[in-house]
A and B are shown apart, each in its own frame.
Chain A
């Protein structure tokens, strides 16, 4: 896969002038936790089955458990890259957002299209001092979601976005 050596074009497009703003590196821990906790549960269940079952589980079951565990671990291993892939740029008139390594997505949203900004903090993010910011337009497909921004930054960004949207308000 070409993911490990991003080519020059990939790192410069589409930001000719600006730098991608990244989410906090601390968010990696939240991402890791979300992958490792299910792994732990799967492994525990498997161990319990092996310990308490009367006979050895059939090979198919072992294979399924192994595959699920391997998949989750692989996904956890990509946590750093996945979090690093999330980025945004406040351009003059629109917000540029990107995420994903396997399913790369780059979205441009004019500020005037902003309907509302959500800032949410779950228990996991709160423990890390982070917050998630969601940018909502009239289209459900836009899906601009910035998880794991430092709390102050998320609130500043929200205020900035609302202000930008207010000056560029256009009809639906």
Chain B
């Protein structure tokens, strides 16, 4: 027996939910064919007589030709085959969490084997579409750094899903060499597997609904906000009141631009041509669509620092909880549209690795870390997302001045003398600063904007490269642009219109800081690997250990989830059509 944990199965109801669409389609076809029959049952004969017999009715043809039994048999056969294949694919869809990776195998004829190495995991998400939520099921999504490279487990029971997430995150933390003891201390969910439901912090014995315990549990799961117990206790929780959410949607550009379009098209229709009224429909559709998705994303939004990362959850009908392990944030941006300025509201977005091009856009809601909040919420979010930034009072003060300040106030490098040619009215606010230059937590900060204010914080540790550029216009007026490159995401770390010599000096400083901070991390990673390899060798001297991929086998395995039979389906050779 190897020390690898066993392969586990998904929830038995999952084929039903995944095949939900097929069932709907079949139901639709049946309904269409039976429509006249059903009508006949309820509506008087004379109406139908007036309409005339329906020649193309499938049922009539079948009855006439005495084929009704055959047809029923075929239908039954198809249903049995569908059920059999769903059962088979469920049998063959297994997953496991080892000390190195999260793996999933699926497919009967075409075997697929997906593997997400722990050090490449960017976040672990729990998704609950409405139907799944009612049935008490949850989809677990393990996001890795590669484009579209994710392992999806759909579906697991809600409690099992939470345990699985806990195990993955703990393995990730252990892989990074963080203390495990600390993690378990705060962990109220999987240390006590005897607790039947993870209630959202309310004492469990009270059963105010008075329903039988199964239903009660389901109801609790349905409304569970999925907040870390420790975060709730310490009060380090950021949430969004519903009034503010509605106000923020009403005052955002998402509404203003369609409204302006609407006014323009109505006026045009009245003055010139009613044809312009046709423009109203797309404008209304866009406004309704974007504001509904903003509302859904912001509804019951919570952000908390849990023991193993930052946890963000929200959702009205379908809920979504994303947990990002520490150190996976590549850049943060706080934005303030013009309409929000009187209220002092901001929205926070982040760039993390693993977004596809569609998810990385400005309009995607996947990367929102605060739908709307006051400046104190923004500071708390930045502090939560970037440990080591904003812990001290003076650091908070410097973040505050970055958000609210302008020009060279607060130690920022302001725009050059003729920068108004490229920045227009944004010249006054523009600024760039390398904060905490000497420490490991060095960040590059950029503030810009005029109608929509923006403030960007990028940890130097995560930068990919730094670029100095001089397009023709800026060259003529002695200016330059500095840009730090990050992985694909919504946040652009760029400052235009800096005086050339200052830009060059800043380029030198930033490139030196990058090399120093990232070199420090490389040394730490090497030391960690060497330590792990040494430990593995001491325990199992016979085993061939590749120092680069060695696993620490001294750690006790996380307890197996109580699944009935979890032996791997041994009759399929794993090499067949394997894809990793």
Contact = CB atoms under 8 A, between A and B. Distances in A.
Contact of B521 (A13, A93, A171): A171
A59 to B, nearest CB: 30
Contacts of B466: 107-108
A139 interface: yes
Which one of B145, B467, B471, B486 has the greatest number of beta carbons of chain A within 10 Å? B467
A119 to B, nearest CB: 20
B129 interface: no
Contacts of B471: 103
A109 B464 contact: yes
Interface in B506-539: 507-508, 511, 514-515, 518-519, 521-522, 525-526
Contacts of B465: 107-110, 113, 137, 139, 142, 144
A138 B487 contact: yes
B475 interface: yes
A106 B522 contact: no
A2 B521 CA distance: 42
Contacts of A140: 488
A155 interface: no
B507 A139 contact: no
Contacts, number: 96
A149 B483 CA distance: 27
B464 A170 contact: no
A141 interface: yes
Given A14-B507, A108-B507, A139 B467 contact: no
A167 B518 CA distance: 12
B485 A137 contact: yes
Contacts of B518: 110, 112-113, 168, 170
A104 B467 CA distance: 10
Interface in A72-119: 92-94, 102-110, 112-113
A145 to B, nearest CB: 13
A108 B522 contact: no
Given A106-B468, A169-B525, A171-B119, A139 B488 contact: yes
A110 B472 CA distance: 28
B167 interface: no
B525 A94 contact: no
Interface residues on B, range: 35 or more
A108 B485 CA distance: 10
Contacts of A156: none
A170 B469 contact: no
A43 B525 CA distance: 60
B511 A108 contact: yes
Contact of A170 (B470, B486, B522): B522
B243 to A, nearest CB: 40
Given A112-B518, A137-B485, A168-B519, A13 B470 contact: no
A67 B19 CA distance: 61
B191 to A, nearest CB: 29
B315 to A, nearest CB: 28
B464 A93 contact: no
A171 B485 contact: no
Contact of A103 (B462, B470, B508, B511): B470
A142 B519 contact: no
A106 B488 contact: no
Contact of B485 (A93, A141, A169): A141
Interface in B112-133: 119-120
A50 to B, nearest CB: 35
A141 B526 CA distance: 28
Contacts of B200: none
B514 A94 contact: yes
A172 interface: yes
Interface in A1-22: 2, 9, 13-14
Nearest to B122: A172
Contacts of B464: 109, 113, 137-139, 142
A171 B486 contact: no
Contacts of A9: 501, 504
Contacts of B485: 137, 139, 141-142
A135 to B, nearest CB: 9
Contacts of A107: 465-468
B487 A170 contact: no
Interface of B: 119-120, 145, 327, 353, 461-462, 464-472, 475, 483, 485-488, 501, 504, 507-508, 511, 514-515, 518-519, 521-522, 525-526
21 contacts: A9-B504, A13-B504, A14-B508, A93-B515, A94-B515, A103-B472, A105-B468, A106-B467, A107-B465, A107-B466, A108-B507, A110-B465, A110-B515, A112-B522, A113-B465, A141-B483, A167-B522, A168-B522, A169-B522, A169-B526, A171-B119
Interface of A: 2, 9, 13-14, 92-94, 102-110, 112-113, 137-142, 144, 167-172
User: Which 8 interchain pairs have the tightest Cβ spacing?
Assistant: A139-B464, A139-B485, A108-B511, A93-B515, A109-B465, A170-B522, A106-B468, A137-B464
Given A104-B475, A139-B465, A171-B525, 16 more contacts: A9-B504, A14-B507, A14-B508, A92-B515, A94-B511, A107-B466, A108-B466, A108-B511, A108-B514, A109-B465, A113-B465, A113-B518, A139-B485, A141-B483, A168-B519, A171-B521
